[in-house]
Amino acid sequence: MTTLSAPLLPGSTLGVLGGGQLGRMFVHAAQAMGYFTAVLDADPTSPAGLVSHHHVQTGYEDAAGLAELARLADAVTTEFENVPATALAALGALRPVSPAAGAVAVAQDRAQEKAHFVRCGVACAPYAVIETAEQLAAVPADLLPGILKTARMGYDGKGQVRVKTAAELAAAWESVGRVACVLEKMLPLALECSVIVARGADGACVHLPVQRNLHRDGILAVTEVHAANLPDTVARQAIAGAISIATGLAYVGVLCVEFFVLQDGSLVVNEIAPRPHNSGHYSQNACDVSQFELQVRTMAGLPLTQPRQHSPAFMLNLLGDLWFAADGSQQTPPWAEVLALPGTHLHLYGKRDAKRGRKMGHLNITADSADAARATALKAAALLGIAPF
């Protein structure tokens, strides 16, 4: 694996695998700091490809495309956890890649992920790995009711089935094609939260404040970040757990660690995302260093400084549903009315076609107090047709 011998300074070229909105925001952050950028994505209209200096229009496993990206870029990152780890490994032989293929491979497999949590001493929900009929038959009864999750290629609630009985579990495993799965015991949840950690090759680690998250239909809908969003003890435990998980992976880059807070106040880790995350988008307008600048700093080997949040913030996820009226006809969301509200910051991703459930952008709301930010966020949600929270 290739490593940096010295920091890559502005004027260097930074590459990213994946042309979606996370890649686009990384490209914007890198360019603001004076870097050239290169994106590898097969889609000629990919959001990141459209704004980058270079766009390699091939698939993730195309050898010629990977070689071209390595020729163009001095270092490479990824914006998508399901980029083949083999592609990252191939690039890693030629250029510094962060996060490394091994760390991404752990995040791509729920069984490996859970085992890593256990090794790091960070509590997770009781679980069982199901890869064979024998393992299915041996599942302890006390893991039910539970959630059956495919071990690979699951995100935004995909590849998940809730089951109450052994018969439902067996049927669910059949329904997902008898692929490798993890069964997690359902726990009494109070809320969800996450931590964005940035770790450098030298082991230095910084973090954003703990984010409180609301999901709807398996997709993040609202993030709120302010001093009163979580008890201090829970926030400190989440930060410590996230740093332990990143350190255990010898991770270099930006990592999101998602947690569940249970009704008794205890904390369990849910999953990791080896990249910037929706729940960290508020940092673009509420912190002095955003998660995307942290991504640039980690891959370029620049010093990491602890981000400071200067404003309480809410983030509203903007899905394609907002572009459709009640009768199904297309509409333009009322951006002028939304932006007339104080402290609103609109981020649209440059996607040409709105589809229901598709992430089209996000709205950050900042204010002098958490109450003021919430009030404005609720006004914006009402204008957009987003359910209150």
351 appears as a binding residue in the annotation: no
187 is in an annotated binding site: yes
Rg (CA), the chain: 21
Residue 160 annotated in ligand binding: yes
Contact predicate 148/173, CB 8 Å: yes
Quote the CA–CA distance of 65 and 164 in Å, as a whole number. Answer: 46
Hey, what are 178's tokens?
A: 């008898």
Q: Which residues partner with 213 through β-bridges?
A: 192, 223
> Is 46 strand, coil or helix?
coil
Beta carbons of 71 and 54 less than 8 angstroms apart: no
- Choose among 187, 195, 297: nearest CA to 252: 297
Place of tokens 């890593």: 116
Per the annotation, does 270 bind a ligand?
yes
Task: Confirm whether residue 156 is marked as ligand binding.
Answer: yes
185 is in an annotated binding site: yes
Query: In 111-138, which positions are buried (b, 16+ CB within 10 angstroms) versus exposed (e)?
Result: bebbebbeebebebbebbbbeeeeebee
Name the residue type at position 331: Q
DSSP state of 312: -
Whether the Cβ atoms of residue 8 and residue 75 lie closer than 8 Å to each other: yes
* Angstrom distance (rounded) from CA 37 to CA 29: 10
In angstroms, rounded to a whole number, what is the distance separating the alpha carbons of residues 42 and 69?
13
User: CA-CA distance, 315 to 313, in Å (whole number)?
Assistant: 7
Tokens of 192: 């969800």
Annotated ligand binding at 215? The verdict is: yes
What SS3 class is residue 234? helix
Does 184 count as an annotated binding residue? yes
How far apart, in whole angstroms, are the C-alpha atoms of residue 253 and residue 89? 16
Q: Is 155 annotated as a binding residue?
A: yes
Q: Which residue is listed with tokens 């980029």?
A: 83
Q: Is 149 annotated as a binding residue?
A: yes
Which residues are CB-contacts of 254 (< 8 A; sequence separation ≥ 6)? Answer: 196, 197, 198, 275, 276, 280, 291, 294, 295, 298
The Cα-based distances of 371 to 98, 228, 310, 339 in angstroms read 38, 10, 15, 19
Extract the annotated binding site for ATP: 110, 149, 154-160, 184-187, 192, 215, 270-271
Write out the binding residues: 110, 149, 154-160, 184-187, 192, 215, 270-271
